[in-house]
């Protein structure tokens, strides 16, 4: 297969869908002439013109509100919010309108809206441009949440999102934009609610998503040098979440480490742990479920501090080894 960057895969998916379906259009701040804050939409204005690649004023409320209305009127808008932190400005449009319109009107309307937005830390953009807020929307019925970790998934999941009749929050971790990977030729989709085993293992199940997938794979490789085989499960979508895949990997390995960049308290990791506790997988556990997450703190501007508050490869490796060596076993009476 050919190789391309994560950003290129997103651009290709969006461009292919706009060529295929004239109801698809793209709106957001600086997406036209400038090509997007992270260069994702470079060249799209020249191909599709200003009616379908629309630069907007700096008003997330208006941008998302326009998208919701257009979707209810039969179009398929793709909205770009420059940083995921700015979805806070449009929470009413997303949570109270987009997520509820289909339910509220008894299925008379669907809302085929995609909100694409760069997420997470690692660029030195400080506390208001670096958050991981996926748990807000996993908690909101009516919204699907995708967090691709590879270029192939970025393209396949985005095509699925654009074709879906429901609103989708599509989170793109900023540090992934320049990463490269193999991407299939031609039209293909990645289904929502279907996790991927990125590495087979038997000793510890590592459940993760987004940019932490690459770090967990690196940590699993380091653990393998110590004789410990960790299985890495990439959730790919958080709503719907592939609970069956979670249960399978837990029953296979018996020890579980959940890793995500977002804050620990109220994070998606707690829901994953609850899924395990509420299922038959609980009886297969040989140790308590462990979570390795971002610190409960705003993101610092200082690069060293910023890096220190999210899971890193050495820390993930250490947790895998501790679990496998029974250093984190059930307490004994």
Cβ partners under 8 Å of residue 86, min gap 6:
60, 117
- Residue among 190, 147, 150, 141 nearest 169 (CA): 147
Report d(CA 234, CA 195) in Å as an integer: 6
Catalytic residue among 76, 102, 116, 129: 129
Handedness of CA 88, 92, 96, 101 (dihedral sign): negative
Contact 206, 290 (CB under 8 A): no
What are the tokens at 14? 């969006």
Other C-beta atoms lying within 10 Å of the C-beta of residue 133: 18
- Tell me whether residue 139 is one of the annotated catalytic residues: no
Q: Which residues pair with 237 in a beta bridge?
A: 146
Number of helices and strands in the chain (H, E): 12, 14
Active site residue ranges: 129
């Amino acid at each position: 297969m050919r190789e391309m960057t994560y950003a290129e895969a997103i651009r290709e998916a969006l461009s292919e869908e706009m060529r295929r379906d004239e109801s698809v259009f793209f709106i957001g701040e600086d997406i036209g002439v400038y090509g997007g804050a992270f260069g994702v939409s470079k060249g799209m204005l020249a191909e599709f013109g200003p009616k379908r690649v629309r630069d907007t004023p700096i008003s997330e409320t208006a941008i998302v509100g326009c998208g919701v209305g257009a979707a209810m009127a039969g179009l398929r808008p793709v909205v770009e919010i420059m940083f995921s932190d700015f979805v806070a400005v449009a929470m009413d449009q997303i949570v109270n309108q987009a997520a509820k319109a289909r339910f509220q009107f008894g299925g008379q309307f669907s809302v085929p809206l995609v909100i694409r937005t760069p997420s997470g830390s690692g660029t030195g953009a400080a506390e208001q441009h670096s958050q991981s807020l996926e748990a807000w929307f996993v908690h909101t019925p009516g919204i699907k949440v995708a967090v691709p970790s590879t270029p192939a998934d970025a393209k396949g999941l985005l095509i699925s999102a654009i074709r879906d009749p429901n609103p989708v929050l599509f989170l793109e971790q900023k540090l992934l934009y320049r990463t490269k990977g193999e991407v299939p030729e031609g039209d293909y989709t990645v289904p929502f609610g279907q996790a991927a085993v990125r590495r087979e293992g038997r000793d510890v199940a590592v459940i993760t998503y987004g940019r932490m997938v690459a770090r967990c794979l690196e940590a699993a490789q380091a653990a393998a040098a110590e004789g410990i085989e960790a299985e890495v499960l990439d959730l790919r979508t958080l709503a719907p979440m592939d609970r069956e895949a979670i249960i399978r990997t837990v029953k296979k390995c018996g020890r579980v480490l959940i890793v995500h960049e977002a804050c620990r308290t109220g994070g998606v990791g707690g829901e994953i742990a609850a899924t395990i506790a509420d299922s038959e997988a609980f009886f297969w556990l040989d140790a308590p479920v462990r979570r390795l997450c971002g610190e409960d703190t705003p993101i610092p501007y200082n690069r060293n501090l910023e890096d220190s508050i999210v899971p890193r490869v050495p820390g993930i490796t250490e947790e895998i080894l501790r679990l496998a060596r029974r250093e984190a076993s059930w307490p004994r009476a």
